[in-house]
Amino acid sequence: MRPRSVPADISRNVGEAASSSGTIAQSVAEVAQDARKTGSGVEGIGASAVQLGELSAGLEALVASFRLEHERSRAPLAAV
């Protein structure tokens, strides 16, 4: 190796390291943004699950009341 090329190699390596650091920083920022989006999506899914549970309970109560009325309306006919 020639002594004159050492500073040039060092300079080139520092430049490549700086470029790589910028790429890594950008990737980390993108991962952080994706994590925030995922968190928002999870919150939305949780809210939808709660709403679905409420709808399910209401539907279950509605079906139960229908069955009771249906059974009551059939009882007199069965006794006749």
pLDDT value, residue 74: 63
DSSP per-residue codes, the chain: --TTHHHHHHHHHHHHHHHHHHHHHHHHHHHHHHHHHHHHHHHHHHHHHHHHHHHHHHHHHHHHHHHHHHHHHHHHHHH-
Mean pLDDT per 10-residue run, the chain (80 residues)?
A: 74 88 93 94 94 95 72 57
pTM across the whole model: 0.52
